[in-house]
Amino acid sequence: MSKLRIAVQKSGRLNEDSMRLLKDIGIYIDNGKDQLKASAKGFPVEVFYLRNGDIPQYLKDGVVDVAIIGENVLIEKGNDIKVAEKLGFSTCRVCIAVPKSSNYNSIKDLEGKRIATSYPNTVQMYLDKSGVNANLHIINGSVEIAPNIGLADAIVDIVSSGSTLFKNNLKEVEVILKSEAVLAVSPILSEGKQAILDKIQFRIQSVLKGRQSKYILLNAPNHKLEKIIDVLPGMKSPTVVPLAEEGWSSVHSVISKNEFWDVIEELKSNGAQGILVCPIEKMVL
């Protein structure tokens, strides 16, 4: 059987998050230091460790079959490549930043100005949509220093925490796009490899659903059971088991981690006791 070739970033945070996801879906990679390619144990997959910016072209050419890549890179260099799955990690945003001393009111203030960036296609699309003409300076590397050395009036770059902008006396003024890691697919994919990808996607979806949810167990007085069940959406309906102590039941359910604290507070106000919350490794619906 031919192997599915998966590209991941060769180093950095995205690499770590990608390898953790592969491990969570049961794909174990035996890779040594500085290895550019490695095979999975017991699964028809090869992992290629590549420069992030090179991956879109490798997908287009069919050198790799799928990739875990930042959505921002795909938009810049391969916006015609299909995204099979959004993965929910390695989140960031592509932003316009200007010196803190600048009197910035709107994107129109960049008319005729110089913008330094590593994302010229993304920036040009945004400027065209906004009806603004500006001069782009393409910089591969640290663009934050460009305003300080007089090379540009503004920059466009990836922002996670904003600390790098702060250190360089810059302020964020526009968000061009929000990005996360995605599973991207080559347009040149055989039927056999699509079958392998389908299995991988099923596993990824199970892991992502688990990460987004919490398993909750609690004790409830029977006279408050109906109200407590109304608070818990669950997968279909909560599991209710009578306790040895008369008049009490144990309730088991699944809740979204985004609603966690609101749900917990409502449960307590309705008489729930002994609330236990557990992480979910995988969730298959």
Q: What does the pLDDT look like over 256-265, one tens digit per residue?
A: 888 888 888 9
Q: 187 and 82, same structural domain?
A: yes
Q: 125 and 57, same structural domain?
A: no
From CA 157, how far away is CA 90, in angstroms rounded? 15
Question: What is the reported pLDDT for 70?
Answer: 94
CATH number at residue 241: 3.30.70.120
231: domain range? 214-279
Q: What radius of gyration do the chain's Cα atoms show?
A: 24
Q: 275 and 135, same structural domain?
A: no
Of 210, 227, 256, which residue constitutes the final position of a domain?
A: 210
Q: 185 and 80, same structural domain?
A: yes
Question: What is the reported pLDDT for 17?
Answer: 94
CATH number at residue 103: 3.40.190.10
The encoded tokens of residue 55 equal: 């991956």
Percent of the chain topping pLDDT 90: 67
| pTM for the full predicted model | 0.85
From CA 51, how far away is CA 65, in angstroms rounded? 16
Q: 230 and 171, same structural domain?
A: no
Question: 1 pLDDT exceeds 80?
Answer: no
Residue 285 included in any domain? no
Q: Tell me the β-bridge partners of 156.
A: 96, 117
From CA 209, how far away is CA 206, in angstroms rounded? 5
Q: 105 and 45, same structural domain?
A: no
Residue 151 included in any domain? yes
- Number of structural domains (the chain) is 3
Q: 59 and 198, same structural domain?
A: yes
CA torsion angle for 69, 74, 77, 80 (degrees, to 10)? 130
Residue 227 included in any domain? yes
Residue 284 included in any domain? no
Residue 42 exposed, middle or buried by CB count within 10 Å (0-12, 13-18, 19+): exposed
Q: 223 and 195, same structural domain?
A: no
Residue 160 included in any domain? yes
Q: Which residue has the higher pLDDT, 80 or 21?
A: 21
From CA 114, how far away is CA 151, in angstroms rounded? 8
Of 135, 157, 179, which residue constitutes the final position of a domain?
A: 179
Question: What is the reported pLDDT for 203?
Answer: 96
Phi, psi angles (nearest 5°) of residue 206:
-65, -40
Phi, psi angles (nearest 5°) of residue 39:
-100, 150
